[in-house]
Structure 1
Amino acid sequence: MALPYFFKDVSLLITHYNRSNSLERLLKIFKELNCSFEEIIVSDDGSLTEHLESVKELQYSYNFSLITSSKNMGLGNNINKGQAAVTCPYTLYVQEDFIPLADFAKHFQDALDIMHKRKELDIIRFYSYIKYPHLKPFEQGFSEMIYKPWSLNYLKIYFYSDHPHLRRSNFIEKFGTYTEQVSVDRAEYRMCISFLQQRGKGLFYDDYQGLFEQINPEAEPSTTIRRKFTLSKNPFIKFTRDIYRQFRYNYDLRFLRVNHGFAIKSDIAKLRAEKNTFIDLSKAIINKFLSLFVRIFYPQAVREFKQFYKDTYYCQLVQLKYLFKDYFIRKRYKSISFNGEFAPELQFVLPFAYWHFKNGTLDKTISSKLTRELYFFSKDHQESFEERSNEGNYNFETPRILYSHNYDMSKWAQVPLKETYQNSIYVYDKPILIIANRYNMEWDDAPVSFLSIPVLRTIITKLKDKFTIIYNRPRSQNIATDDSVIYDLHEYEWLEKEHPEVILMENLYKENKAKANNFNHLQLMVYANSSHFISTHGGTGTLASYFGGINLILSKKGPEHHFNCYQKLYPKLSGAKIVHAKSDAELDSAIEKCLLND
């Protein structure tokens, strides 16, 4: 027997049309799962008499309110009148052809708790035919849906769905009523548009077919009919359909006022909207042709990485519009803004900004907190972002984004961090060896490329007589964090007990003999005095490559391997010798060869 779950403040709203047996099955399984709600509302869309009579009979067993219609008015009207009858703060919306599965109750309670805590959320989705294309891990098995305007995946538009979901009952006040007297798909589509127009926020359950199942038996089949054109897999039809969708989505996002037709109030606003729509459509078409170009000229490229080939060409095309400003006019105009992850900022954005500084065209830079010292050359640097984000990586105004098959970049210059921050304070009897570690979530999963305590023990034992070892693994309070979670390796206690000769970067910051403005500033000063580094994948290894000398990087997997970043990109940052180790054993061999016997 399942534990009893009473979902206070929740109305279960079920829409029904001519499938009374399916409705009974749904209500029965909720009861078997010991799930009860503050109220249950069944909204009927003018069902045939035999079905309506059966629904009325079910009221005696399941105690629900029945909202009827004299004739069939479509799903939009059915949801509207059902939602109007809701009296609770939250609505669980389910169509009658779904059933909840065994794990529903626990995870629905998790969703309800999240909605209580996160007031900005409008919807939490539990079911889908396919995964929403752009997700950021959240908690409790849910992910945040991210709308990416420039993504070519048309499924991005389905931020909202009529499939089972939890929402706030003021949903219609914020997003408008459902469009009536149109097809089921059209009503859902227009609510999707409204949801995006009003900047709705929502979560998506990762196991998106693990809480509900859709069942359409032969006796009560689905009544939804779709045109063959929308389902065809013919390449030409699919290409034409995708172009049309990109145009239609962008047009509707700017002009469609749900349930009020097409209207823009002022002529100026209309012209601006039309211009933006044209720009968005142009970008979509360019992206389509670049995708085709990559397929033709790079047929052997790994499918999951082809996007970055296309992104390379797109970045190059974007720079063409600045040709005269950058090479002929050469006046200060360039404002560079970036709030993506630390590694691409160091790889592409910082050298891009420095090139514009040397070119005389840099006006201002905008980045995350604690970055002023990185942009020491910028006369107007603003620290506007508290956190870094994955979405911020996709700034096509920079020479490259994330990864590329071609690192022969224009408008890119080495940034002299070593020359700028070298000092006489952090100088020791033996040369400095920086061990730059990290212990973070990687690719939404457990840490992969990190220096474990056994590996640290080997490194320190072998090198402590030759080098002054400084250990650095920044904690979250000292840096601008991104989407990845920072875990505790528990190595600090071990180092202080077993290897007191190792200097901890965070202890240097506590002393702050150099009067550094922040932890990042201190890192630059200490790193600038070193020419020997052992580092790890990501921003940790990128920063350590800015100071010449030699940098041994432990990176066990990642797109960097496919694109040969450690051979083609990282050495360009300062001329440093980069040695890439793909395993702990390879790192140990590299230490013997490059640091002990150099």
Structure 2
Amino acid sequence: MAIPERRTKRILWRNKMQREQNQSTQLPCQARPTISLANRFSALKHRLQGKPNVRPIGAYPSSIIDSQGCEFGYEMFYHVPYAYHLAKIGCLQRTVSCLGTECFYFFSPDHHERYDRRQFVKYMDSIAQQPHESPDANRWEPPNFAVHYRNKIELNFPKPLLLVFNKYNIEWDHPPINFLSKPFLDRVVQKASDRFSIVYLRPTSHIVHDHMPVGNLNEKEQLREQGVVLAEELYENYRHISFNEFQLCLLANSQHRISVQGGAAYMNALFPGQLMLLHRYGGEQLHGNYVDFPRMGVTDFTVHNNEFDMLDRLDYFKCSARNAA
């Protein structure tokens, strides 16, 4: 039976509108930002200001991501996810950062390790970001480090892996504040060593130092005697990769982690699993940065202001390990 002409026109019109609608919804995903005249003038202005690595493209602050040697946590929180997003849309030109950071930018077409020391940066030009601001979700996408680094090296631990990240350095021109104490570490070993293989990380010589002097907690000898694996000693078996890449491999193979406020906390947040964090002082709670941690990849995240609460939480880690075994 022939279809009436009016109905045929209506069907053709509806199909045309549907095609146009599909094209309009797909365009933003397919469109690649281009360098406009305004972008060129902005790049020239930044070059004259001594910032040659700021090269805007479309609505993006820059196609070159330069960390400026900023603090490690800010780089993990801001620069790496922004650079990865640019790489996914085919707009990342180059990444510039500190020594030993190539592993964080495995997706970069051209990575330069320019800085040998970290510092506090008030404004991060290539991402148009100030510290503690919430990152723009439209141009922020953390890479899947867990998948990329899970099988990079062979790790043979008899039990589920518990990583303990610590630090002991001057903070805000004051003596150490955010650190895990020796009595706390002793209690962690007593409570968890029967269920976990514990690896302890308080790096000193294998990382790029920042502007805050590093102290000595004098805890490692006792931990070694208690059967805890010290990360720097384990690393001697994997010297063919950088220490930062070694840390990423450990994180990719661990579902249970303890850390402290600072750069290691941000790195931990890029991996799924349970993360328990000690925060005595710092801007993260004041500015709400920890709210963004689940967006980074961690699946079970708690913040504690004292070590007593953390020891109680450790029992939940034990239950989780038993269920996973």
Amino acid at match of 2:243: F
Q: Aligned partner of 2:163: which letter?
A: I
User: What stretches of structure 1 move > 4 A for 4+ residues in a row?
Assistant: none
Q: Distance in 2 between matches of 1:569 and 1:325?
A: 21
1:557, distance to aligned residue in structure 2 (A): 1.4
Answer yes or no: is the 8 Å Cα contact 1:399–1:412 preserved in 2. no
| 2:90 is the alignment partner of 1:364 | no
Match status 1:544 vs 2:268: yes
Once the two structures are TM-superposed, the CA of residue 324 in structure 1 deviates from its matched residue by 5.5
Q: 1:595 aligns with which of 290, 313, 317?
A: 317
1:462-495, Cα deviation, whole Å (9 max, x unpaired): 01111111111101x2011110111001111121
Instruction: Please give the alpha-carbon distance, in whole angstroms, between the structure 1 residues aligned to 2:213 and 2:160.
Output: 33
Higher relative contact order (CA 8 A, sep 6+): 2
Q: Separation in 1 of the partners of 2:114 and 2:174?
A: 29
Distance 1:385 1:407, change over 3 A: closer
Identity %: 29
Once residues 534 and 458 of structure 1 are traced to their aligned partners in structure 2, the CA distance between those partners, rounded to angstroms, is 13
The C-alpha deviation readout for 1:380-423, integer Å capped at 9, x for no partner, is 100000101113x521431633202x455321002111111102
Q: Measure, in 1, the Cα distance between the counterparts of 2:274 and 2:129.
A: 25
Query: CA separation of 1:575/1:421 partners in 2, compared to 1, >3 Å: closer, same or farther?
Result: same
Give SS of 1:410's match.
helix
Q: Which residue of 2 aligns with 1:205?
A: none
What value does the CA root-mean-square deviation take over the aligned residues? 2.5
| Partner of residue 254 from structure 2, selected from 522, 530, 552 | 530
Q: TM-score, normalised by structure 1?
A: 0.43
Distance of 2:258 and 2:277 partners within structure 1 = 6
Aligned partner of 1:347 in structure 2 is 77
Contact 2:73-2:263 within 8 A present in 1 as well: yes
Give per-residue Cα distances to partners, 1:150-188, cap 9 Å, x unaligned: xxxxxxxxxxxxxxxxxxxxxxxxxxxxxxxxxxxxxxx
> Are 1:427 and 1:529, in contact at CA under 8 Å, matched by a contact in 2?
no
Task: Quote the offset at 1:552 in angstroms.
Answer: 0.2
CA gap of 1:426–1:563, structure 2 versus 1, over 3 A, is same
Which digits, 9 at most, give the CA deviation of each residue in 1:86-139, with x for residues without a partner? Answer: xxxxxxxxxxxxxxxxxxxxxxxxxxxxxxxxxxxxxxxxxxxxxxxxxxxxxx
Give the equivalent residue in structure 1 for 2:207: 479
Aligned residue for 2:294? 571
Deviation at 1:579, TM superposition (A): 0.5
Which residue of structure 2 lines up, in the alignment, with residue 581 of structure 1? 304
> Could you state the TM-score of these two structures normalised by the residue count of structure 2?
0.77
| Deviation at residue 575 of structure 1 after TM alignment | 3.7
Superposed CA deviations along residues 289-344 of structure 1, whole A, max 9, x for unmatched, are xxxxxxxxxxxxxxxxxxxxxxxxxxxxx99x643679xxxxxx811111101000
Report if aligned partners of 1:336, 1:366 keep a CA contact under 8 Å in 2.
yes
Q: Which residue of 1 is the match for residue 58 of structure 2?
A: 323
Answer 1 or 2: which has greater strand percent: 1
- Gap change, CA 1:461 and 1:361, over 3 Å in 2: same
- Partner residue in 1 for 2:229: 503
The partner residue of 2:115 within 361, 367, 385 is 385
For residues 407-426 of structure 1, the aligned pairs below 5 Å read 407=135, 409-423=137-151, 425-426=154-155
Per the TM alignment, residue 460 of structure 1 is displaced from its structure 2 partner at its CA by 1.0
Equivalent residue of 2:143, what SS? coil
Q: How far, CA to CA, are the matches of 1:448 and 1:588 in structure 2? A: 18
Q: Is the 8 A contact 1:433 1:531 kept in 2?
A: yes
Q: CA deviation at 1:426?
A: 1.2
DSSP 3-state at the match of 2:113 = strand
State how far apart, in whole Å, the 1-side matches of 2:60 and 2:196 are.
49
Considering only CA atoms, is the larger Rg found in Structure 1 or Structure 2?
1
Q: Structure 2 residue aligned with 1:460, among 163, 171, 189? A: 189
Q: 1:520 corresponds to which letter in structure 2?
A: N
Task: In structure 1, list runs of 5 or more residues that go unmatched.
Answer: 1-271, 281-317, 327-332
Q: Is 1:469–2:195 an aligned residue pair?
A: no
Deviations 1:189-243 (A, max 9, x none): xxxxxxxxxxxxxxxxxxxxxxxxxxxxxxxxxxxxxxxxxxxxxxxxxxxxxxx
Secondary structure of 2:100 counterpart: coil
Which of the numbers 218, 222, 238 marks the counterpart of 1:494? 222
- Answer yes or no: is the 8 Å Cα contact 2:82–2:142 preserved in 1: no
Give 1:400's aligned residue. Answer: 129
- Tell me the amino acid that sits aligned with residue 464 of structure 1: S
Matches within 5 A, 1:12-23: none
Corresponding pairs, count: 271
The one-letter amino acid paired with 2:242 is N
The aligned amino acid for 1:352 is: Y
